[in-house]
Chain A
Amino acid sequence: MTVHLPGDLAHEFGAPAHHITTAENLNALLQELDRQYPGMANWIAEVNGSVRQHLSVFVDGRRLEPTAALTTSLAHAQEVWILRAVSGG
Chain B
Amino acid sequence: MAGLFMIELKGIRKAFNQGKHNEYWALDGIDLTIPAQQVTALKGPSGSGKTTLLTILGCLARPTEGRVRLKGEDISGLPERFLTEIRRKTFGFIFQQFNLVRGLSAIENIILPAYPEGQPRKDLLEKAEALLAGVNLGHRRDAKVEWLSGGEQQRVAICRALINDPAILIADEPTANLDTKLSKEFLGILEKLAGQGRTIILTSHDPLVVESSVVDRVVTLRDGRIVDQT
The finding on whether chains A and B are genuine partners in a shared complex, rather than unrelated, reads no
Q: Which residues of A contact B (CB under 8 A)?
A: none
